[in-house]
Amino acid sequence: MADQPKLLAVVYTSVATEPFDAEQLGSLLAWCREWNGSVDVTGMLLHREGRFIQFLEGPEAAVRELVANISRDPRHTRVRVLLEDTVAERQFPEWTMGFQALDDTTSTLDGFRTSFDDLESGDDCILMVQAARDLTRWFRAGAVTSA
């Protein structure tokens, strides 16, 4: 039996260099889903007021290449990897890229965050792990999940 490639999970935040409208977000999401499907990456993307938080998981080489490409993408600034870990199984196996645009009308289910500011400025690993768990639970409970 061949060795399975190591699965890598990465959570990062970034800030858009220019505002994204609904059409641009739709195009970005379509591209993410196509690319991620072609390299076996799954995850979710949250967007609010020009800020992104993205969970990526998949073969280590593919995830690392994707994060490097995002870091060089001129549409992003302040790219910060919050968490990086090898995992035994995926959190989002059915989504090449689940997505939710967050706005003031978004539900306030447990785990809903109105800001990512504390994640961008903090170095508290425990806080980041808890925030990642909260966001994952919130996303699974009520966000748009079409892949």
Q: What whole-number percentage of the chain has pLDDT above 70?
A: 62
Residue 15 lies in a domain: yes
With both helix axes pointing from N to C terminus, report the angle between 60-72 and 22-39 in degrees, rounded to the nearest 10: 150
Of 35-49, 90-104, 109-123, minimum mean pLDDT range: 109-123
Residue 147 lies in a domain: no
CATH number for the domain spanning 123: value is 3.30.70.100
Domain that holds residue 99: 7-142
Q: Which of 49, 55, 33 is nearest to 139 (CA)?
A: 55
pLDDT for the residue 41? 94
pTM over 0.75? The answer is no
57 close to 90: Cβ distance less than 8 angstroms: yes
Whole-angstrom distance between the N-terminal and C-terminal Cα of the chain?
31
State yes or no: pLDDT of 143 exceeds 90.
no
pLDDT tens track for 21-68: 888 888 888 888 889 899 999 988 887 778 888 889 999 999 999 999
Residue 2 lies in a domain: no
Q: How many domains does the chain have?
A: 1
